[in-house]
Homo-oligomer: A and B are copies of this chain.
Amino acid sequence: MAAAGADSLVLTHLPNIFYLSGFTGSNAILLILGDVMHLFTDGRYTIQAHEEVRQAQVHIVRTSLAEACGGFCRSRSRRKRVRLGFESASLKVAEWTRLKKAAGPGIQWIATTDLIETIREVKSAEELDIMRQAARIASEVVAEASEFVRPGVAELEVAAEIEYRLRRKGASGASFETIVASGPRSALPHAHPTEKLLQKNELVVLDLGAILRHYCSDLTRTVYLGRAPARIRQWYEAVEQAQEAAHDALRAGVTAGSIDRAARRLLHKHGLGSYFVHGTGHGLGIEIHEGPRVGRAQKRRIRAGNVVTLEPGIYVEGVGGIRIEDEVAVHAGGTEVLTTAPRGLLEL
């Protein structure tokens, strides 16, 4: 906060609000003013806010939260000017307009980015413990794939089965809409599952994750329905090697970009570089996509406590796609793969 030139901070990004206050409602502003945190939310959350929030004063608001928060700032900025940081990547223009109007002229507004996100990138032992369990739940479901992935079943049914099993194992939900992409549809990196039936001799990409106690996991495996032809095996091995190269490059102190480039180099060597259309991975935690991003041009350095996915993939339009994704925690002395499902090509 001091580095950003602010003495106070208004937070609007809900994952940051949860991280600092414990509040899980869907409508909140958190104000850090001096040493005191103030949570503004509405009447739906009266009981819940008092249950969940330990270290902030709770304000139940009947008007808009921005107005209430702004008015509160105004009352506190009478004696001295407040330099109030706000989250420019989260605060909407209209909300900011309301905040500014209600807060009046005694406030100096300072756009900040990633203040809390940067702190969140380094996980505590307690957070890692939850994330380990969330990853295990996803791994267990993937290890059961042979029970529900077979020709004749719709992508949507497989997705339903996956999410049901995640929850039966204790997840509060899926950490994103489960991807079940089969045949040529597996060439869409972010395909929604459809009513398309799985068929023999097709690739199927399964990308899924659990939410456990508000933390996400993320795991991808690619299945072949039948005996995979030689070309598919070669592609699969190339992606596997690309992931290994990324994993070998991953440690505290290196730039995130160098990890991406290690994976990319490997796929280029196999002549598959142009089919790798996204970054190698991303951090995760309370959100499914957090920093550090593991992309080609990322100069930021990996720190102990980071948890990132490594998920190289190739996508050949009209043919299909292959992606292998694991979640890796970075420790001071090495790495720890949190996702434990077998990594080889699964032929069902």
Contact = CB atoms under 8 A, between A and B. Distances in A.
Interface of A: 24-26, 43-48, 86, 88-97, 111, 113, 156-157, 159-161, 163-164, 167-168, 170, 172-173, 177, 187-193, 195, 277-278, 315, 317
A161 B163 CA distance: 10
Given A25-B190, A93-B93, A167 B173 contact: no
A96 B94 CA distance: 11
28 contacts: A24-B192, A25-B190, A26-B190, A43-B277, A44-B278, A46-B277, A47-B187, A47-B317, A86-B93, A89-B93, A89-B94, A90-B92, A91-B93, A92-B92, A92-B93, A94-B111, A97-B111, A157-B167, A160-B163, A160-B167, A160-B168, A161-B164, A163-B163, A163-B167, A170-B195, A172-B192, A172-B193, A173-B177
Contacts of A156: 167, 170, 172
Contact of A88 (B94, B172, B173): B94
B88 A111 contact: no
Contacts of A48: 188, 190-191
B88 A92 contact: yes
B164 A47 contact: no
A29 to B, nearest CB: 14
A159 B167 CA distance: 8
A197 B95 CA distance: 40
B94 A113 contact: yes
Contacts of A193: 172
Given A88-B93, A160-B167, 16 more contacts: A25-B190, A26-B190, A44-B189, A47-B188, A86-B93, A93-B93, A156-B170, A156-B172, A157-B167, A160-B168, A163-B164, A163-B167, A163-B173, A164-B164, A170-B195, A172-B193
A161 B165 CA distance: 10
A145 B97 CA distance: 46
Contacts of A187: 47
Nearest to A278: B44
Contacts of A25: 190
A172 B111 CA distance: 38
Contacts of A90: 92
Contact of A45 (B92, B161, B163, B190): B190
A46 to B, nearest CB: 7
B97 A43 contact: no
A43 B96 CA distance: 32
Contact of A111 (B93, B167, B190, B278): B93
A317 B170 CA distance: 27
A207 to B, nearest CB: 12
Contacts of A189: 44
A278 B157 CA distance: 36
Contacts of A317: 47
